Copies of this chain bind each other. A is one copy, B any other.
Amino acid sequence: MKKIVFDFEHTLVSQSDIEKISEKLTPEIENIKKQQTLKYKTDYASLYVPFDPELLNIVEAIIKKKKKLDPYVLIVIGIGGSNLGTIAIHKALQGDFYNEKKDAMKVYFADTVDSDYLENIVQIIEGYLISGKNILINVVTKSGTTTETIVNFEIFFELIRRYRPDNYSDYIVVTTDKDSKLWDYAGQNAMDRLEVPKKVGGRFSVFTPVGLFPLGVLGINLKNLLDGAKSIIKDCTTEDIFSNPAVLSASVIFYHYKKGANIHDLFVFSKYLRSFGQWYRQLVGESVGKKFNKEGDLVEVGVTPTVSVGTVDLHSVAQLYLGGPQDKFTTFVTVQPKNEIYLPKIDVFNTFVENIQGKSVSFIMNSIFGGVKAAYENDGRPFVSVDLPAVDEYFMGQLLQLKMLEIMYLGYLLNVNPFDQPQVELYKKETRKLLSK
């Protein structure tokens, strides 16, 4: 059976150091296993999500109901943890040109309060409504109080109410906490509702209805996605640390951070994994970028996540990565592509670049990636690599779940709470003052 392949052989950590660090995680491995039995009652609630038999049933029932409206386009209104996971999986599996496919339901993401972007989307959607096509709006906000999401909701609410005055509520599905005002409002106005389990934070919520509903609407196989997530949780909670990819990954990031690598570069060699990088960036940034440790001491710790895309960024930041300061640790992610393309054999092109005639595009990609790995190794630049045997629901489920566990372990090693984000309140407080003027 195909499996994700990990390579932990190119770091600067010795076998004994990695053992020492990983051993520190033993109590946390124990703890996580215990937490799982508590289902939704704990901060680790996200780990129960893929095992919840009810959740998928509820989501699929609403998808079935909404499909009857024959929606031509889905609009996902949400920001941060409310859309990054959805976009990550949608882009990885359906690509950048999905909306150009004739037979597929289109999708748009309304996130921030950028007038020009919003104007563009509203015009497109209004065009569909005028031409008689149906739309489906999924509003996603855990708290129900996210400013940007409420702004976008209000604008699309007005739009759908104008064009479908008799049954506009049918076209709206609200995903939010059960005790939010938005939950109540949706119920009072006959809109379908999906619950985000209370203890599951936004950045850990991709396998809840937050991600499942829009992904299911777009035709993603949700069962396979959840099966992938479930399967890797076992690997990532084994006490045999050298078989535990989440523990190893957290340990090497931690080691290099302590040695001065304050930047962790996720370098994906697949254009369609860029959004997975953006999802991971939030996961790292919010979970382990902390002013205070668990005891409340001022620590100001945090690895800064960056996302690079091969081979594009070899022509952008490779000079820095191979020549600049030793301030980075890199995780490469490669995939086996779905398509294979062979170059023709045209002799004259051989005078521009040698040894590519008649070869496959993925052979060329792999050769460049191999060249990059060799250059990193030759220059003592530490990295790990992760190779997906296929880009499908199952392995994307594994990949995202693995990263969520890695970050929990990294939070433990850094002695910070990976589940809160108190500092964001600093700008929100100032924003409220300005809005009230």
Contacts and interface: CB of A to CB of B under 8 A. Distances in A.
Contacts of A289: 317, 319-321, 323-324
A55 to B, nearest CB: 24
A431 interface: yes
A370 interface: yes
Interface stretch (A6-14, A145-153, A238-246, A400-408): A145-153
A228 interface: no
Query: Which of A84, A96, A367 neighbours the largest number of chain B CB atoms within 10 Å of its CB?
Result: A367
Query: Which of A289, A323, A327, A378 neighbours the largest number of chain B CB atoms within 10 Å of its CB?
Result: A323
A79 interface: yes
A147 B421 CA distance: 44
Interface in A297-316: 300-302, 304-306, 309-312, 314-316
Given A100-B124, A282-B315, A368-B431, 18 more contacts: A80-B312, A97-B124, A119-B341, A145-B352, A150-B349, A150-B353, A154-B349, A158-B346, A182-B352, A185-B351, A281-B317, A304-B328, A306-B306, A319-B423, A323-B422, A354-B436, A370-B430, A375-B430
Interface of A: 79-82, 84, 95-97, 99-100, 111-122, 124, 144-148, 150-151, 153-155, 157-158, 181-182, 185, 202, 262-263, 269-272, 278, 281-282, 284-286, 288-292, 300-302, 304-306, 309-312, 314-328, 337-341, 343-344, 346, 348-349, 351-356, 359-362, 364-368, 370-372, 374-375, 378-379, 391, 421-424, 426-436
16 contacts: A79-B311, A84-B316, A96-B117, A96-B120, A112-B312, A114-B361, A115-B338, A118-B339, A146-B353, A154-B346, A202-B315, A285-B324, A286-B316, A291-B324, A304-B306, A355-B435
